[in-house]
Every structure is written in C-alpha cells, then in structure tokens.
Amino acid sequence: MSQQLFPTSAQEATPVNAIPLVDLSLQHREVAEEVEAGFAEVLSAGDFIGGKAVSAFEQEYADFADARWCVGVANGTDAIEMALRAAGVGHGDEVVVPANTFIATAEAVVRIGARPVFVDVDDDSLLIDPAAVEAAVGHLTRAVIPVDLYGQVAPFEQLPAHLADHGVTVVEDGAQSQGATRHGRRAGTFGDIAATSFYPGKNLGAYGDAGAVVTNDDLLAERVRLLGAHGSPAKYQHTQFGFNSRLDTLQAVVLRAKLRRLHEWNEQRRLAAAAYDEMLAGTPGLRTPRTLPGNEHVWHLYVVRVGRRDEVLAGLQAEGIGAGVHYPVPVHLTPAMADLGYTRGAFPVSERAADEIVSLPMFPGITRAQQERVVDVLLSTLRAHG
C-alpha cells in the first residue's frame, strides 16, 4: 500500500505539537501494572460489589483526608445529594450555593426537592463570598454548600458563626480539592460533611464515574451508607427509602493505586502552576489565579482571566492548545435553573468571570516545554486581540 501523501481534514485540524487540557495517559502508565493485577484479583474472586478493595480504599482515603469516615458512592453528584439527605435536608428547604460552580452542586439540591439559593463569589479567588452567605441565610435555610473550586479550599472559617445554632448544615463540595489544605487542615474535613468526585479528570480520578462522602460524624456516615444500599442494613431488610449508589470494586482498585501517588502528582501540579505564574507575571490584559492566604492549592485547574475571552480561546485551540472554560454560564443562568427566577445581573462577579475565564493545560507530567508553548501562543493571541 502506498504511503498517504496528503493528510485528512482531521489531521490538518490537529497541529503536530498539540497540548491537551488534561493528559490522563501519563497517570495510567504509572499505575497500569498495579491496576491490571488488582483487576485480575477482583475478576478471579468475583468480588464485584462491595469488595474488599472498596473497604480498603475507604479507609485509605479517610486516612488521607484526616477524617473518621469515607463512604464510597457511585459519583460526585450522588455524594452531594446523599450528604444533604443524611443531614435531613429535604423538600421545601433552602440551600445556599455559589453561582460559580458546576451545575451538579445545585442539581443535587433540586433532586431532593429543596431550593438552591445562589450567592456571588469573591472577585479574586472566585470562591464563595462569606458576606453574601450571611445575607442569604433565612428561616428556611437548612444547608450551605461552599465549593472548593479549582483546587483550593473555600474560606469556611469566615462563614457566619451562627449557622450551627440555627440548624444549618455545612456541606463541603470538595470535588476539586483532593489533597488541598487550609491553615493546615485537609479538604474534606470542613463543616459537617463533605462530598467529593473521582471523575476521571479529577486530581484523584477513577476510570469512570465514582465519588465519596467524607465526615467525622458517625451517624451521618451510617446514614449515607444506608442510603446508598437501598436503605438496607442487611439483605432484604429495608428500614428506609434509599437508592443504589455504591463505589464499584474495579474503580476502587484504580483509586487505591492512584491515591498512593496523589501527593507526588499534586506537587507536580504546584510546580507547573508556579511556572505559569512566573511566565505570565505582569502580562497586560490577563489576571492570573490568586491563592487565598492559608491555602495550599492542588491546582485541579489553572484558570486565568482575559478580555475578549472567546476570541482568545479560539486562538489557543486553533494552535492545538487544549484550553477550556470552567464554566461558561453561571448556574443561575442555565436553562435548567430558569424556574428559580434569577436574571442576568443578580450575581455580577460570577457573571463577569464566566465571560473571562480560560483554563490552561494542567496535569501531572506536563513539561516545561509544553508550558512554554502554551504561554507563547497565549501571549501572541492576546496581542492579536488586545
């Protein structure tokens, strides 16, 4: 067969030196043998549901987070919902949620029949604004969900001090902060209960959907476990309404292998973020991310802010730079939340950020040469659209 002399349109559209937003193949190469051996053990034993790898991972992740309990569930959205249900939040209640987050945070609230009450975020960190929480809490408020966004913990200690006195549960959405700390305290241990996601692209990612609930409260942990097993403490005993949301044994194998390397991978992310900070310092028309005092960031995402974002994003992608946007529409303005009655202008910081944010390639193993190319293309694109 003769060699193809002319590339296809797909080949033409992808530059040879393309750089992905996330490269999961690097992580897989590190854990492949360990995962293969773990899979073989599960397959041989037929240990598919609630296998020993699940209980082992739950203990290991609880230890990692300096928490008493970790309960594995099917995904991160279920984790938020189950945390809320375990805390007794339900139909007719209100839950305070930042407008700058992935829709799953609010989606879980709607799924239990409660109402999301959105609040704006701080303009520097884009994390929940504690003053806005103070103003939003009312007599129907049963929970607040601060989100650890982009890899750093929200300022939990600045939340209103009276929340607990009024029966308001604080649920930490820690899907993007695995391994992060605030004032030396690990993500997942703030508030009453926390939810996390092990979606493949997370700092600790499975090979499919997976999630967990983390807490120091024995009763909340017991309730979450019961909820995820059809409300059944023993086979064919159903003491309450529940549903099917369990961590798969094969995913637990993957997560155990990756958890052993998470400290190292997070450190690689920090070094990469410092390199971006250095190369982008003082760039006109660009804001680099800010880490709150007291936070040790794990850089799930490296998010910059620029004017004429869509043109800048198109310029990056045209050169093979896998930049993205997290998230292009604030949750309160999504059609899915239209019934709540929010309109543009309700949360100006979140809305302005949604028009400016660009996530640059960030993953363990990204090279200095790759980052230099990302920055070169970004700077030239900014000059072209300045």
The burial class, CB within 10 Å (0-12 / 13-18 / 19+), for 311 is: middle
pLDDT the model gives residue 123: 97
Whether the ω angle into residue 327 lies within 30 degrees of 0, i.e. cis, is yes
Asked if residue 141 lies in contact with residue 96, where contact means CB atoms within 8 angstroms, the answer is yes
Q: Provide CATH 3.40.640.10 ranges for the chain.
A: 27-259
pLDDT the model gives residue 45: 95
Asked if residue 137 lies in contact with residue 109, where contact means CB atoms within 8 angstroms, the answer is no
Rounded to whole angstroms, the Cα distance separating 178 from 44 reads 31
At residue 18, does pLDDT exceed 60?
yes
* Average of per-residue pLDDT across 363-382: 98
What is the DSSP-derived secondary structure letter of residue 342? -
Band (pLDDT 50/70/90 cuts) for residue 16 is low
Provide the edge-to-edge strand list for the sheet that holds 357-360: 286-287, 302-306, 357-360
Q: Provide CATH 3.90.1150.10 ranges for the chain.
A: 261-384
At residue 4, does pLDDT exceed 90?
no
Buried b / exposed e across 319-343, counting CB within 10 Å, b at 16+?
A: bbbbbbbbbeebbbbbeebeebebe
pLDDT the model gives residue 17: 76
* Average of per-residue pLDDT across 154-176: 96
> How does pLDDT run across 187-209, given as a tens digit for each residue?
999 999 999 999 999 999 999 99
| Of 52, 202, 235, 258, catalytic | 202
Band (pLDDT 50/70/90 cuts) for residue 129 is very high
Rounded to whole angstroms, the Cα distance separating 358 from 306 reads 8
Q: Which CATH class is domain 261-384?
A: alpha beta
> How does pLDDT run across 230-273, given as a tens digit for each residue?
999 988 999 999 999 999 999 999 999 999 999 999 999 999 99
pLDDT the model gives residue 10: 41
At residue 327, does pLDDT exceed 70?
yes
Band (pLDDT 50/70/90 cuts) for residue 15 is low
In angstroms, the Cα distances linking 240 to 78, 83, 151, 230, 260 are 17, 16, 36, 8, 36
Q: Looking only at Cα atoms, what is the longest distance across the chain?
A: 77
> How does pLDDT run across 56-85, given as a tens digit for each residue?
999 999 999 999 999 999 999 999 999 999
Q: Which CATH class is domain 27-259?
A: alpha beta
Number of CB atoms found within 10 A of residue 79's CB: 33
pLDDT the model gives residue 166: 93
* Average of per-residue pLDDT across 81-104: 98
pLDDT the model gives residue 386: 66
Contacts of 62 (CB under 8 A, 6+ apart): 68, 69, 70, 214
At residue 383, does pLDDT exceed 70?
yes
* Average of per-residue pLDDT across 123-133: 98
* Average of per-residue pLDDT across 124-141: 97
Q: Is residue 235 among the annotated active site residues?
A: no
Going by C-alpha positions, the residue among 257, 341, 332, 262 that lies closest to residue 300 is 262
The percentage of the chain sitting over the pLDDT mark of 70, rounded to a whole number, equals: 96
At residue 298, does pLDDT exceed 80?
yes
